[in-house]
Amino acid sequence: MAIAIWANAPLQCAPPCCSISRRNWQLKFSANSFNLKRKCLFINNGYGSLPVKFQAITGDSGDPELIEDGNPLSSELEQAKIALKATEEERSRLMEELAKSEVKNHEYASIIKHDKILALAELEAAKSLFNTKLEESIKEKFALESKLVLAKQDAVELAVQVEKLAELAFKQATSHIIQDAQLRVSAAEISAAETARSMEEQMRKTTEGTLSAIVDQSTDAVNKALYAAEQASNQARKSVAAITGDRNLMDEVQDVRAKNVELENSISDLECQLLITKSEVDRLKSELDQALARAKASDLRAASVEKALAELQEVAKKRNFQKDELFKSLLNKMKKEAAEREKAAVKAFESELEAIIAAVQAANETARLKDQAYTRRYAALQRSLQASEAASEVWKQRAENAESILHGERSGEENYVINGGRIDLLTDKDSQKWKLLAEGPRREIPEWMARRIRSICPKFPPRKVDISKALSAKTLSLNLPKQDEVWSIAQEKPRESDMLVDHVFEKEIIEKKRKALERALQRKTVKLELVPEQPKLEPGTGTGREIVFQGFNWESWRRQWYLELAPKAADLSHCGITAVWLPPPTESVAPQGYMPSDLYNLNSAYGTVEDLKQCINEMHAQDLLALGDVVLNHRCAHKQSPNGVWNIFGGKLAWGPEAIVCDDPNFQGRGNPSTGDIFHAAPNIDHSQEFVRRDIKEWLNWLRNDIGFDGWRLDFVRGFSGGYVKEYIEASNPAFAIGEYWDSLAYEGGNLCYNQDAHRQRIVNWINATGGTSSAFDVTTKGILHSALHNQYWRLIDPQGKPTGVMGWWPSRAVTFLENHDTGSTQGHWPFPRDKLAQGYAYILTHSGTPVIFYDHFYDFGLRDTITELIEARRRAGIHCRSTVKIYHANNEGYVARIDESLVMKIGHFDWNPSKENNLDGTWQKFMDKGSDYQIWLRQ
């Protein structure tokens, strides 16, 4: 049997001795025990292919013969031996590379093992951190529970004390009324008793006198009658004696008649006296009746007094009952509020506990998922290691196959396929694996990966079908690609919908969530442990330590302002700013935003609603409050009415003329009269309408909850009553609110008047109308600073020794500023003196009130470092909106004041320091020295 070999492709060999002549050659072997067979072998050496055809040719002698085109050639055998020797050398080199590959595999295994140890250590560290956080959370829970119990006890004790104090106050309030009523009743009773006693005494005296007179007269009359009867008896006896004694009977009779006449006269006199006595008795009776009537009247008055007293007692009783009811209702309300606060505290604690539990569960879940991710990663690394080991075995098997083929040790018909620099044996067991290794991933490779593969893998030469072309090819090299340049599953970039991709994405998401939860838990723990919560002192003032930054000017709408302002949040927070005042967010007829139309459309000239949300989120990420500039006084219409007046609104709040005040002369409103000044450029909204207030409240809450604003800057609040502002603020519950109440100061002869009490009183009246729920810009202080800083520092103290402006009367509601988008920027309606800006900021940043910093001054005028340093002085001194101000000097030369007990500042060019002040004790250290502009000292 003879074997014929045709080379149809170039055989690439590194040594020059391995080149083959460009002729067809045949190798002839003799064989008696097997039939003619043909086998096609395709050998891949990494850069070229050698299709070799073996043909068995049987000779007469049975020995193999080497023929060239039908003639024996002994020299070709030598060349074949040389080629075989080159092949053996190539095999040796391949075995060396295989050994190197095994060494690299061992290195990979050690690296994987090291990574596994690191992963386990990191997992243990995460578990220990989680356990520590959990213990801290449990301790914090117990501390909160103890605080809650103490708060409950304090609330109960406070309720008992309030009840006792209320009872004592009620008694004190009602005791004087009862005592007064009792005194009045006693006085009335005493007066009635005295009147009755006097009348009774008078009647008694009068009756006794009358009766005694009557008795005396009657006694006299009876005595007279007895005397007359006795005389008559004596006369009769005399008459009898005369008769008997022979006297003159006629004389006696005459005497008797005379006596009778006298007796009759006496009786008539007695009757007259009786009549007189009777008339006197009648008079006394009438006087007695009158006295009785007066006594009865006195009784009636006493009864009326008693009735009045009873009514008074009834009224007092009703009042006492009402006060009892009011006190009970107040007490019940207080108890209810205490219960609600307790419930709220419990609910807040429960929610906090639930949040902590959720965080713990999330941390557990994160740890579990991290364990799973590490497990998957370890499994993937193990699979990669196994794949590397399998690849090494395959390379070894390929070398053995090549060696056996070259030595003719393998028999049978077997097909070999050249693919991508590998000789792959297509067996049923490993066909899919080799297909994956050979053809790459299961899905189409993306363009970016294809470019990467092409950049590290050279192009393969075209497959040759002719031995002459194969021998004439110049690409005869056996340099194989490096192992890290060959495509591998372990180095494959994750793809969508792949299991490995899902695991990797899941791992990344879980890792992000874990880190976010750890940061949130750490911030919450630090906040609860180290930074006690600062309670909200009063509505509309936040914590009292706000420093507001106006984050725009009149020309900011010309750029994508939200995208430009958001990156500055970190810098503002680092400089000490606590709140950023953003421009009006709504769609507006004027690009600056102060002529709003559709309130729910937040795609404005400053950017889209997504840009606005991103900007607010960036502010919140830097712990900054976002204050929205809301225009509530007026709104631009979308349509004209049938008579051509623009008073029909569109969008979600589709109002009509009934939402416009009736005294707006330009827009024919059908609402109620305005409660403030008229803004003539747009329809003025009637806030007395219930549907208007309801819609505005919903809009403000939408801005708070959905968009993310924390507070409000209220535009042109002179146009409507402050009572409506109070209602809007109570409904939206902002962290901070500022009202723009701007009117003119008092001038005389072109000069600013010293007394500006009327101006600041109007601002204070508006703040008071809001119930103190909103602050207001201290326009008074701005106007006075314009003149005071030009060597008229005496303007900075009022007759009571307090600061001028709103900060002197109501500092917690005074928002001090030097300039804004209206007064400065390109409008320049009332610009602050450019050369006095540093002094102005030194004044407002060291005094009470809430200072506002203008964007242009901070970023465009070169005052950033100066303002930052002043903010730091304010922070170190602990100055807030209610800080006390003690003014020592205010004259033409300068101004000196002490704020609280921790900061002293001087403005002006006169020579002064704390050691020269007799009434200023303590040790002071100079913090800032700007020469004649200003100087600041802090107490050591």
The catalytic residue positions are: 715, 740
Which has the closest alpha carbon to 548: 836, 840, 809, 775? 775
Handedness of CA 472, 473, 474, 476 (dihedral sign): negative
Residues 6+ apart with CB under 8 A from 786: 752, 832, 833
Residue 629: strand pairing partners: 713
Residues 6+ apart with CB under 8 A from 36: 1, 56, 58
Q: What are phi and psi of 450, to 5 degrees?
A: -65, -40
For residue 508, the SS3 value is: helix
Classify residue 288 by burial, with Cβ atoms within 10 Å: 0-12, 13-18, 19+: middle
Give Cα 672 distance to the centre of its chain.
Answer: 36
Give me the half-sphere count of Cα atoms (radius 13 Å) on the Cβ side of residue 91. 18
* Contact call for residues 903 and 940 (beta carbons, < 8 A): no
DSSP string, 379-408: HHHHHHHHHHHHHHHHHHHHHHHHHHHHTT
Q: How far apart are CA 764 and CA 892, in angstroms?
A: 29
Eight-class DSSP state of 858: I
Beta strands in 725-874 (DSSP E): 737-739, 747-748, 751-752, 775-777, 814-816, 850-854
Q: List the structure tokens of 438.
A: 């050979």
Residues 6+ apart with CB under 8 A from 690: none
Strand order in the sheet with 934-939: 885-890, 894-899, 903-908, 934-939, 924-929
Q: How far apart are CA 481 and CA 487, in angstroms?
A: 10
Q: What are phi and psi of 792, to 5 degrees?
A: -125, 50
Strand pairing class (579-581; 625-631): parallel
**Most distant CA atoms of the chain, gap in Å:** 249
C-beta atoms surrounding 509 within 10 Å = 11
* Contact call for residues 732 and 704 (beta carbons, < 8 A): yes
b vs e for 338-350, b when ≥16 Cβ sit within 10 Å of the residue's Cβ?
A: beeebeebeeeee
Residue 550: strand pairing partners: 581, 854
Residue with tokens 């500022």: 738
Q: List the structure tokens of 805.
A: 């402006």
97-105: list long-range contacts, CB under 8 Å, 24+ apart. Answer: 97/480, 98/392, 98/395, 98/396, 98/399, 101/391, 101/392, 101/395, 101/483, 102/392, 104/483, 105/385, 105/388, 105/389, 105/392
Q: What are phi and psi of 534, to 5 degrees?
A: -90, 115
Residues 6+ apart with CB under 8 A from 93: 478
* Contact call for residues 281 and 157 (beta carbons, < 8 A): no
CA angle 689, 691, 695 (to 5 degrees): 120
Q: How far apart are CA 475 and CA 11, in angstroms?
A: 9
C-beta atoms surrounding 692 within 10 Å = 21
> How long, in residues, is the chain?
940
Give me the half-sphere count of Cα atoms (radius 13 Å) on the Cβ side of residue 635. 30
Q: What are phi and psi of 885, to 5 degrees?
A: -125, 125
